[in-house]
Amino acid sequence: MNIIGVDFTSAPRRAKPITVAHGSSEGDVLRIDKIVAHADWDSYENWLAQPGPWVGAFDFPFGLSRELVEHLGWPLSWAELVTHCAAIPRAELRALFKAFCDARPVGNKFAHRVTDGPAGSSPSMKWVNPPVAYMFHEGTRRLLRAGVTVFGLHAGDPQRIALEGYPGLVARAVTRASYKSDEKARQTPDRRAARETIIKALEEGTHPLGVTLQLKKSLRRTLVDDGTADWLDAVLCAVAAAWAARRPHYGLPLEIDPVEGWTAGAAHEGLR
């Protein structure tokens, strides 16, 4: 099984590219063969349009809170919602979300998806720290345009299966310690040690998803040394995709809210 893990950014550039881990899985073993950086949209879109087969986990939210979508009167099916949002400029999207939050009481500003709780993820309408709303805005439109299957939400090419991933879900199952920072001054020995701890647990398969990771020594060294952990996050998404690829319905709920989606590996009733 060809496995993909994508560490996504809503503004790819040379200093902060979209990072894609390519690997293959057999049983519970995942081997990562290479990691490719896409520094612009053209490069990323050209890759995404290539034939499969693969199962991939992408590090951005695939949906929005149903509460938010219904409040705004937006479409209630995935493809129509994505198309609608893609036509809204980023600044206008931010203004709409901010107005929604400003009208709500302190402590309950953002509307959450059901999956946010078990995944431990930020609300997908959040536009700063991290700006996942912009990641939804840029990421989903490109999945739709590429014609992939967004499992449980949109039927496309059955040879390219896209799942929502969240590297923090996999990492926190190993350690709660911070393991990354985009700021050079905060790329500390403690964060490096946390990356080493995460990688060791993945290599030994001693984490809840139970996938055993195989890496070349040079690639392993890069994963440990990269203080941003962009490459490691791509690998963590690949681990989630490998776990999902071996499970019925990719380990997702049998019924997925077509507005909200679900994060691969997040616990839910019926998951074993």
- For 16-75, the DSSP string reads B-EEEEEEEEETTEEEEEEEEEE-SHHHHHHHHTS---EEEEESS-S---HHHHHHHT--
Predicted confidence pLDDT, tens digits, the chain (272 residues): 999 999 999 999 999 999 999 999 999 999 999 999 999 999 999 999 999 999 999 999 999 999 999 999 999 999 999 999 999 999 999 999 999 999 999 989 999 999 999 999 999 999 999 999 999 999 999 999 999 999 999 999 999 999 999 999 999 999 999 999 999 999 999 999 999 999 999 999 999 999 999 999 999 999 999 999 999 999 999 999 999 999 999 999 999 999 999 999 999 976 65
| Structure token digits, residue 99 | 């107005």
How do the domains of the chain map onto residue ranges? 2-59+164-245
Helices 230-245 and 217-225: crossing angle, nearest 10°?
Answer: 120
